[in-house]
Chain A
Amino acid sequence: MEEMIQLTALKKSFGDVSIIHDLNMTVHAGEFLTLLGPSGCGKTTTLRMIAGFDAPTSGDIYLAGASVKDLPPNKRKINTVFQNYALFPNMTVAQNVGFGLKMAKVAVDQREERVTGALDLVQLTGYENRKLDQLSGGQKQRVAIARALVNHPKVLLLDEPLSALDLKLRKQMQYELKRLQRKSGITFVYVTHDQEEALMMSDRIAVMNKGHLEQIDDPKTLYEHPKSSFVATFIGESNVFDGRVTRPNAPEGQVTVETGVLSITPDKTLRQDQIVNVVIRPEKVKVSLTPQPGFHITARISEYYYAGNVNKAVLILPNGGELKMSSTAQASLPPLGSQAFVYWDLADAIVIKSPADKIYNVVAQPDFSSVNQK
């Protein structure tokens, strides 16, 4: 696949504060890539460096094979859709959309034609002479997108473009942006902190945390095979157990956690006493009133929440920790307050081997007394 953007050993610090440490990343031509992460993870800074607003402290940025590190923003064939739209308040819709073409000295008649085309594309046909204060938030958003797309950029950068819109409009714009990206074939680099938005729209997602790249993969891989507990908890809901491998192999793997013992799919790459995170999605958690082979964890059913198509439950572990669970509305569940045995299909548990970032209470000999009381 052709490489559109390449970030190599990119570093950025403001004064003594390091924002991005050693970022290496490739964006393929024509893909919809999302930079996802909590606020302060460095995703916007990364975007600003690609656009040319901030200069990297070290490292390089390549656009279609050529370094653009020393080019000012106006010399990069990259356009940006800003979070607050950044539409020019002194210009009409058409003047805004045509600004880039005017700067590129495109002839007036050709410019008009392309502006009309771009406005058609974002479904704002006939809005040319409107003033900005006559537009709604969603319409302003469309103008901002048209203003960027009309220049036929190699890459379109979008900095949380939907964050100012209300939920319904946001959903609608998500579909529309995806449609625009497919239709235009332009590479999109999209910044958001909304994991649901990222999962829905992206070809690939780069999860960032504290200035480094945690994982870059397609949404399905990211969800089903997170490489770190950060990714597991940031993408979708997860229960994460910190534990120690007490049996790596056959007949099945066994991990001892503070509140009990659980089984995992046998894995030859695990070794005895290795510290791991076991991640289980709420929808994969099962409960039973009878003990289940391979599992030695009980929890009290503390709350049920009705959420339409699913039932959500919160279970309290013996050490006070919470376990989230969700199941289809039809499934029958033990009564509230009852002690239940927790288990899941071995294949559903994700074992993460490098849990150095998240070790709290790994105990050598778990205390089962509370479990055995029942």
Chain B
Amino acid sequence: MSEHESVADPQPAVQLHKHTVHLGTRMIKWLQIFPISLWMLLLVVVPMLYVFFMSFMSRNYYGGIVYHFTLQNFAQVFAASNLQIYLHSFWIGILTTVICLLISYPFAFFIAQKGPVAKTILMALVVVPSVSNSLVRLFGWLTLLRKTGVVNTLLERLGLIHHPLTLVYNNGGIVLGMVYLLLMFMILPIFNALDRIDHNLIEAAEDLGASKFQIFKELILPLTEPGIVAGCIMVFIPSLGYFFVSDVMGGGTQNMMGNLIENQFQVSRNWPLGCAISVMLILLTILLLVIYQRRGGDMDELGGY
């Protein structure tokens, strides 16, 4: 190459005026920030604030909103009949969370020990069913387990039972449906946490004389704790709101928090009360997230990363 000529006749550099450069880049910057900010403001922040606002409003006899401040809705939130529903919801939620954890941890643990190809395939297999329709899949369970379902019919034909067993349309059915739909949200963060553990750490622990159990208790478990907590949050919180699960699998008789809110917007048309209950759910969510973050949890983990 002969670059000498380019050195020999230096062309005057193009003089771009400072302001044009800045105006251009600034406009590009705002064009990128504006859509997402506006969307989130108008369709997340404003609606949430409006829920808070509405939870302090009254309603008239016909269910219309009256813009008049009241604490009546929150008094109703804590009515005895409602407390029963929260307790029931929490119980179902906790049961769902514990069962998901008991299945997910060993499952993720065993998969994390596999080779990279097996890992990818197995984790893809976990995700596949979750992308097909949840209600159709719940109906798959109903097809199997309801009174006139496959299991009962087979057992009856084999003469093992004379009256069909109640396998769904009860609390067990609700928990089954919840565990089934939410299991993936427990598996993903735990698997990610396990998969991130540096193999050298385990070898170092072995080298220092730790037994397999000690390695698990002292090293693996603490390192995967954020994943466990993320999974628990991502199972427990949605379980409180999944009204269609209790509706379908509980046969509509088992009332849960999600159903209670839904009712205020569909059947009873008591929007302020529905908002007040929602506010309680929001506060509970925030509380759990604050605890999670205090314990060093990463918010991205909640989205499955």
> Looking across the interface, which residue of chain B has its beta carbon closest to that of A156?
B3
Asked if A64 and B10 sit within 8 Å, CB to CB, the answer is yes
Q: B14 contacts the other chain (Cβ, under 8 Å)? A: yes
Interface status of B125 (Cβ within 8 A of chain A): no
Q: Assess whether B200 is interfacial by the CB under 8 Å rule.
A: no
Interchain CB contact under 8 A, A70 and B18? yes
Task: Judge if A68 is at the interface, Cβ distance under 8 Å.
Answer: yes
If A70-B18, A70-B21, A72-B21 touch, does A184 touch B3 (CB 8 Å cutoff)?
yes
Query: Does B60 sit within 8 A of A, measured CB to CB?
Result: no
Interface presence of B16 (CB below 8 A): yes
Nearest-CB distance from A152 to chain B (Å)?
Answer: 5
Partner of A149, one of B1, B11, B21: B1
The winner among A68, A149, A184 for most chain B CB atoms within 10 A is A184
Q: Does B15 contact A (CB under 8 A)?
A: yes
| Main secondary structure on A side of the interface with B | loop
Note all chain B residues with C-beta closer than 8 A to A117.
1
> Which of B4, B13, B18, B21 is within 8 Å of A77, CB to CB?
B13
Asked if A76 is an interface residue, CB under 8 A from chain B, the answer is yes
Task: Encode contact with B along A159-184: 1 for CB under 8 Å, 0 otherwise.
Answer: 00000000000000000000000011
Would B21 and A184 count as touching, CB distance under 8 A? no
Nearest B residue to A64 via CB reads B10
In the complex, A19 has a CB within 8 A of chain B? no
Interface residues of A in 103-157 (CB under 8 A from B): 117-118, 121, 149, 152-154
Q: Chain A contacts of B7 at CB under 8 A?
A: 4, 29-30, 154, 185-187
Contact pick for A154, options B10, B15, B18, CB 8 Å: B10
B220 to chain A, nearest CB (A): 32
Query: How far does the alpha carbon of A184 sit from the alpha carbon of B1 in the complex, in Å?
Result: 6
A63 in contact (CB, < 8 A): yes
B6 CB–A CB distance under 8 Å: yes
How far apart are the CA atoms of A29 and B16 in the complex, in Å? Answer: 24
Residue of A nearest to B15 (CB): A66
**Given the complex of chains A and B, what is the CA–CA distance between A71 and B18 in angstroms?**
8
Is B296's CB within 8 Å of the partner chain A?
A: no
Complex Cα gap A195–B1 (Å): 30
Whether A65 contacts B10 by the Cβ 8 Å rule is yes
Does A152 lie within 8 Å of B6, measured CB to CB?
Answer: yes
B3 with A68: CB separation less than 8 A: no
Distance, CA A184 to CA B4, complexed state (A): 7
Whether a CB of chain A sits under 8 angstroms from the CB of B115 is no
A97 to chain B, nearest CB (A): 13
Check if A75 is an interface residue, CB within 8 A of chain B: yes
Contact, CB under 8 Å: A70 / B16: yes
27 contacts between A and B (CB under 8 A): A4-B10, A29-B7, A30-B7, A63-B10, A64-B11, A65-B10, A66-B13, A66-B15, A67-B13, A70-B15, A70-B16, A70-B21, A71-B14, A72-B16, A72-B21, A77-B11, A77-B13, A117-B1, A118-B1, A149-B1, A149-B3, A153-B6, A154-B7, A154-B10, A183-B1, A185-B3, A186-B7
Binding site for A on B (CB under 8 A): 1, 3-4, 6-7, 10-18, 21
| Extra contacts besides A72-B21, A154-B10, A183-B1 (14): CB < 8 Å | A4-B7, A4-B10, A67-B13, A70-B15, A70-B21, A72-B16, A75-B14, A76-B13, A121-B1, A152-B1, A152-B3, A154-B7, A185-B3, A185-B4
